[in-house]
Amino acid sequence: MRMRILRLHPFWSLVLFLGFLFHTPLAEAQQTHPPANTMLDFSGLLEGMVQRVSPAVVLIQTRGFSAGDDEGSPLIRARRGSGSGVIVDPSGYIVTNAHVVGNARVVQVTLQDRGEPDVRFRSVLKPSGKALPAKVVGMDRETDIAVLKVEASGLPYLEFGDSETLRQGQVALAFGSPFGLQNSVTMGVVSSVARQVHEDDPMIYIQTDAAINPGNSGGPLIDVSGRVIGINTFIISPSGANDGIGFAVPSNIARTVYQQVRQHGRVRRGQIGVISQTITPALAQALSLPRNWGVILSDVVPSGPADAAGLQPKDIILTLDGRVMENARQFGVNIYQHAGETITLEILRNGEILSRRVAVRERPRDPDRILTYVDESTGLIGRL
């Protein structure tokens, strides 16, 4: 019996091949599990995070007096201002910038509306929220942080993140009320995790390109987990509007100021009576130092705590309470955080490692120390 070979037209051969291809298990699996839309997932993540964060961000409006700006203006004139803040405790504590409320006689905080949505109304325009009077609990002008209190409870609030773990390039979102436009959000990245205005300045800032404008001051800088990583403070811009160079007080500094203001009404800063300097390769070469990094004492105040403990100029600070000191800014910050305590310094002098116990005194010329003597009920200072 002879077999007959069936020959298909090239067109039908192609149809059968494509049918076989698209009915393989691999093809079926790809159709059943389509690839994830990464950008859509990222957008959804940001949307959900914004919905969680926004209710804890407030608009701050102030009224007060200031000196006249021009020769023809009155010596004293009424002034209104606005800024932003973030609720950090459900009992009504709010963190903002000191310059937002510094000269205000009246401070008002507008909370975002948290009412249940009414199915009858679907307008995209939302109510402005409830306005409450706020009391200035305390402020610290050196870090430009202030703490307010409103009489409310059960408020939505945000937690501080750890600014020490920030990395350059991380996504960051700035919340606030630029130009009074309540409940605005912008996105950018962390441009720098630690920027100083002046060399060896104890104050550092997070730099971001997230749009920050007048009115954003005091609002939070948020990471993608919804934690406060900074308090938006100022910008560098020839025009006065956003140029992509904004700065925020790191959350670890803001948290420390907030906690001290709640506990003491002010920030206590310590000193030991030294002038420290960051060691650079050029300085190490000029002074023939044994290392080209770290902290060196350039002067010791006579009769101060450091002098009493036996510290001398040109001593190299190795550790403070066991923590390696890398630069003068780090050393100064660790000193002022221990006001009223005793610290242990490990120093290098003439090739010998020595240990010294040093008492940390509270800085005597701190202008905020006078707040300790103020009677809050009368606003007067008792007899000294």
Q: Can 144 be counted among the known catalytic residues?
A: yes
Cα distance between residue 332 and residue 270, in whole Å: 9
217 assigned to active site: yes
Beta bridge partners of 207: 192, 247
Angle at 55 between CA 148 and CA 119, to 5 degrees: 145
Q: What distances in angstroms separate CA 268 from CA 139, 218, 229, 351, one per listed residue?
A: 12, 22, 23, 35
- The secondary structure of 190-258 as a DSSP string is EEEEEEESSTT-S-EEEEE-S---TT-TTPEEE-TTS-EEEEEEEE--SSSS--S-EEEEEHHHHHHHH
The one-letter amino acid at 382: G
Out of 82, 163, 191, 217, the active site residue is 217
Q: Which of 54, 89, 99, 298 is catalytic?
A: 99
CB atoms within 10 A of CB 125: 6
Residue 175 and residue 228 in contact, taking contact as beta carbons nearer than 8 Å: no
CA distances from 40 to 33, 44, 52, 210, 373 (A): 16, 6, 19, 21, 57
Count of Cβ atoms closer than 10 Å to residue 57 Cβ: 27
Residue 70 annotated to the active site? no
User: Which of the residues 140, 144, 223, 366 is marked catalytic?
Assistant: 144
Question: Is 382 in a helix, a strand, or coil?
Answer: coil
- CA 189 vs CA 57, 220, 224, 234, 381: distances in Å: 20, 14, 11, 16, 46
**Rounded distance between C-alpha atoms, residue 258 and residue 148, angstroms:** 10
Structure tokens at 248: 């925020």
**Residue pointed to by tokens 């005793």:** 342
Alpha helices per DSSP H over the chain: 10-21, 25-32, 38-53, 98-101, 251-264, 281-287, 305-308, 328-336
List of long-range contacts for 281-287, beta carbons under 8 Å, 24+ apart? 287/314
DSSP-derived 3-state class of residue 62: strand
**Residue with tokens 């403990």, as numbered in its chain:** 309
- Could you list the active site residues? 99, 144, 217
